[in-house]
Chains A and B, each alone.
Chain A
Amino acid sequence: MTVILGQLFTGVSIGAVLLLIALGLSLTFGQMNVINMAHGEFIMAGAYTTYVLQKSISSAGMSLLVALPVAFVVSGALGALLEWLLIRRLYLRPLDTLLVTWGVSLMLQQLARDIFGAPNVQTRAPDVLTGNITVVGGDDPLTFANSRLFILALAVAAVVALSLTLRLTPLGRRIRAVVQNRDLAEVSGISTARVDRTAFFIGSGLAGVAGVALTLVGPIGPTMGTNVIIDAFLVIVVGGIGQLRGSVIVAFVLGALQSVLEYSTTVSVAKVLVLVAIVAFLQWRPQGLYTLRTRSLV
């Protein structure tokens, strides 16, 4: 029984990590239709931000807390810069954004290698996050890792913040308007260029927050972004492009599926089976779990 509960928690925590890395992408890819291959490198930027802060702030807990907003701003600024320099010229050619941002991602990786060195680095997790809490005691105790609970809380907070922003703020309304019909939004007096840049800032900033969370799980390295970017795209595509709700559900379903399959088979086999399941699902529902209904013609 504790094994099942333990695995369930593992599934949820894998889902939380997936959700965090996919969340920013759901804004830039989902809402704005930009295939940003450099999203993974924004995650990396967030992770390295944590590493840099830890060098100057001795308390691991404090540096982690400071890293969250700082990483958001650093990665967000990188994203806004990328949007301003390159992507805004390519909104009518979404497939070209793939090539351009892929090039940018390679440059960012090399930049990280030049600044921080090729070997991966690690951060110290605050002591409170290296332990665990016992949920059920006894001979066969059920424990939840504190770091995973922290990531879960972070993912939930990020989803809530993003969804409230999109739903309740003027900025959110403008973003939704641009997504649903760019031309109509434009003639209604919305500065679409400004909305694009702000949305890119937020989406990339969320990648930075994901990067901070990933430092609690594993090492930080120039290629860490490439390792997670595929998972992020899978979550978005299966969830339905532009659908926050879809991303949330799919992230947790994939997490649960991954953990169940890993437990009953092996890690490598589980990865293959998850991909097979995704392919099968997309055969059945090519548009993903949810779809956006708009009045635009495309």
Chain B
Amino acid sequence: MAAGAAALAAVVALSACGAKTDAGGTSDKAAQADVGGDTVKVGLLNSLSGTMAISEVTVRDSLKLAIDEINASGGVLGKKIRPISEDGASDWPTFAEKASKLIREDRVAATFGCWTSASRKAVKPVFEKNKSLLFYPVQYEGLEQSPYIFYTGATTNQQIVPALDYLKSQGKKRIYLVGSDYVFPRTANKEIKAYAKANGMTVLGEDYAPLGSTEFSTIANKVKASKADAVFNTLNGDSNVAFFKEYKSAGLTAKGMPVVSVSIAEEEVKSIGAQYLAGQLTAWNYYQTTAGAANTKFVKAYKARYGKDKPTSDPMEAAYTSVYLWKAMVEKAQSFDPEKVKAASDGITFDAPEGKVTVDGATQHIYKTARIGRIGSDGLIEQVWDSGKPIKPDPYLKGYDWASGLS
């Protein structure tokens, strides 16, 4: 018995070692980007199929728009950008595989993409090992900082904390947490619970559904029975379709019990159906309706290319912005070398559709304005509150006493 257990432990240990050395190839040598000739290759890594495709295809489209605009105005350091698009297929091991392929076979100068935190966590060691850059365009749960990732979506203190502040200011003290069962919702909810404890709010319950799950009747019943003031929704992908259908069927309304979502933007609203979402709240840094000349230009260009009825959304904007930020960094560094690009990143600014953004070199996140919006019956999101000015990124929530125990 004991010998058997020892043998089993040895097997487990061995297979764990195997997993470690396999991640991102077997060599420790950094892959060299191929920057010879008059083009520079970049990788686009998004889920073009599976449960996340609803969201990630739009990010890929937006990245292509930015690349074409830059190419039309002369490219980067005199080279045209050549995008290589790969499908992560809503499957985290596939993301790691494709990231490795982009870096080692295609030898891209930088990669743009990923949506779920699970996919980011899967590719992180690949980018670190190969010393290649990833630009990640989606809001996430914070508590992370990789030397080879630039985070152009919001971190916790630029989205989740402002959303909680907003709920508190509206007198919504008793909240219910619903999320997909993986890293982002679990970590985000840990932060929400810490915030609630410090701010006199009560978390009445938290429920997780597997990613891609479409059976929400029990969760809707639980939420209804809790008589919460509001629901904080961290569901990802098209589970939201099933959740909001069930929410309405259960007789729950945006007026009686509003849902604040942090992963539903205009594109998702359109496919879930505005009739299920009208009146519900979202927390982001950008909406299609955000005022400003840069946004007018962005929205117009996007619609001209992909269709009048295609809305723009926060992650798309952050993706679009990330390509321009990379261009500015490369031009400042006068090199495509990731180390030089990183060194040049601090203080880079861009007049983004969401307003002026600045790269914080220390965290490789960017300063962003927080915005709370209300979904209209036309499917667009109207801003009801904003933070007034870009908020300094604080991925580890160092500026908040209540977050001291989180990791």
Contacts and interface: CB of A to CB of B under 8 A. Distances in A.
A7 B221 contact: yes
B225 interface: yes
Contact residue range for chain B? 35 or more
Given A120-B54, A222-B49, A259 B218 contact: yes
A56 B220 CA distance: 33
Contacts of A216: 245
A218 B241 contact: yes
B57 A119 contact: yes
Contacts of B217: 10, 13-14, 145, 148, 259
B214 A10 contact: no
B245 A125 contact: yes
A118 to B, nearest CB: 4
Given A6-B221, A120-B54, A259-B218, A267 B207 contact: yes
Given A3-B221, A216-B245, A262-B218, 5 more contacts: A13-B217, A122-B238, A218-B215, A218-B238, A218-B245
Interface in B219-252: 219, 221-222, 224-225, 238, 241-242, 245-246, 248-251
Contact of B248 (A13, A130, A222): A130
Interface in A109-160: 113, 118-122, 124-125, 130-132, 134, 141, 143, 145-148
A119 B53 contact: yes
Contacts of A221: 50-51, 238
A223 interface: yes
A268 interface: yes
Nearest to A125: B245
Interface of A: 3, 6-7, 10, 13-14, 17, 113, 118-122, 124-125, 130-132, 134, 141, 143, 145-148, 214, 216-219, 221-223, 227, 258-259, 262-263, 266-268, 271
B296 interface: no
B58 to A, nearest CB: 9
Contacts of A271: 210
B273 interface: yes
Contacts of A219: 54, 214, 238, 241-242, 271
Interface in B11-52: 48-51
Question: Residue among A13, A14, A118, A148 with the most chain B CB within 10 A?
Answer: A118
Contacts of A267: 181, 207-210, 213, 215, 218-219
B214 A218 contact: yes
Nearest to A7: B221
B249 A147 contact: yes
Contacts of A121: 271
B319 interface: no
A77 to B, nearest CB: 26
B207 A118 contact: no
Contacts of B215: 14, 17, 217-218, 267
